[in-house]
A = this chain, B = another copy of it.
Amino acid sequence: MQFLSDNAAAVHPRVWDAMRAADAADAPYDGDRLSHRLDDAFGELFGRECAAIWVATGTAANCLALATLVQPHGGVVCHSEAHIEMDEGGAPGFYLHGAKLILAGGEGAKLDPGTIRTAIDPIRDDVHQVQPHAISVTQASEYGLCYRPDELAAIAGLARERGLGLHVDGARFANAVAFLGCSAAAAAGPADALSFGCIKNGAMSAEAVVFFDPAAADLARYRRKRAGHLQSKGRFLAAQVLAMIEDGLWLDNARAANTAAREIAAACGDRLMHPVEANELFVRLTEQERTVLRAQGFGFYDWGRDAARFVTAWNSDPNAVSALARAISGL
Contacts and interface: CB of A to CB of B under 8 A. Distances in A.
A11 interface: yes
A215 B208 CA distance: 34
A228 B128 contact: no
Interface string A217-242: 00101111111111111011100000
A52 B3 CA distance: 29
A259 interface: no
A161 interface: no
Copies of this polypeptide in the complex: 4
Nearest to A27: B8
Contacts of A231: 56-57, 199, 205
A255 B29 CA distance: 25
Which interface residue of A8, A32, A100, A230 has the most chain B CB atoms within 10 A?
Answer: A8
Contacts of A91: 225-228
A276 interface: no
B98 A73 contact: no
B226 A89 contact: yes
A10 interface: yes
A99 interface: yes
A20 interface: yes
Contacts of A4: 28
Interface of A: 2, 4-5, 7-11, 16, 20, 23-29, 32, 55-57, 59-61, 63, 71-73, 75, 86-100, 127-131, 199-200, 204-205, 219, 221-233, 235-237
Given A16-B23, A94-B97, A98-B98, 4 more contacts: A8-B27, A10-B24, A59-B225, A91-B226
Top 9 nearest A-B pairs (CB, nearest first) are: A93-B98, A60-B228, A89-B225, A8-B28, A59-B228, A127-B225, A7-B232, A97-B97, A90-B130
